[in-house]
Amino acid sequence: GQQLNQSPQSMFIQEGEDVSMNCTSSSIFNTWLWYKQDPGEGPVLLIALYKAGELTSNGRLTAQFGITRKDSFLNISASIPSDVGIYFCAGQGRIVNQFYFGTGTSLTVIP
Amino acid sequence: DAGVIQSPRHEVTEMGQEVTLRCKPISGHNSLFWYRQTMMRGLELLIYFNNNVPIDDSGMPEDRFSAKMPNASFSTLKIQPSEPRDSAVYFCASSFKLAGGPGELFFGEGSRLTVL
């Protein structure tokens, strides 16, 4: 199945720093989703984006739907220890009800 | 509101045994997905159903895997016979999507399978 290119693969940052990660695809998507997965749990939806150029925030998280509809990024501001986890992007086309996932970004926040 | 419910959360079995994983999607959702997650391959889509009908099962590894959705509130993923390489976390997820419309995917907490 198709996988999205997500980068970076892992990040080690100091508490309080900002984080940025992105996802690119060779295909156009109509929906971009960002998830966080804690150890032993299922991915939890953080932000959903539905329009090219859309910028959406959820607390300290901000995500954007790229203008080309082939990319998206997620920013986390002022990171805290509970931000630790694996972040996944996912894209969905307009007709096909299938979600394609990125390879994940593992985030470690050092107190 | 209840999310996607999966059972069992953990299963340890011996090679050759049959394994059945269960899923109850979010009420009102019309699509259900089974994913497998491993360190090596990440999240892999195995199969998905739309309105209880299997739409794409190209991700099912081989004939040992089968999935059913007898009604809108229940699905099973069966592995028979199981092999050690089937060890993984299996996620069920559901969404509500109309043709041409957006959808959001919600995951269960997963079933961690270990085949000895």
Residue A95: the pLDDT is 62
Residue A89 predicted with pLDDT over 90: yes
Phi first, then psi, for residue A81 (nearest 5°) are: -55, -35
Over range A6-23, report the average pLDDT.
Answer: 96
Cβ of residue B14 closer than 8 Å to a chain A Cβ = no
List the single best residue of A2, A65, A97 to mutate versus B (max B Cβ within 10 A): A97
b/e burial code for range A86-101 (CB count within 10 A of at least 16 → b): bbbbbbbeeeebbbbb
Identify all chain B residues contacting A104, using CB atoms and an 8 Å cutoff: 42
Residue among A30, A41, A97 whose CB faces B31 most closely: A97
Q: What percent of chain B has pLDDT over 90?
A: 77
Over range A45-73, report the average pLDDT.
Answer: 95
| The dihedral formed by the CA atoms of A54, B49, B91 and B105, expressed in degrees to the nearest 10 | 20
In this prediction, residue B101 has a pLDDT band, given cuts at 50, 70 and 90, of low
Residue B99: the pLDDT is 63
Over range A57-68, report the average pLDDT.
Answer: 96
At A82 the three-state DSSP class reads helix
Identify all chain B residues contacting A92, using CB atoms and an 8 Å cutoff: 102-103, 105
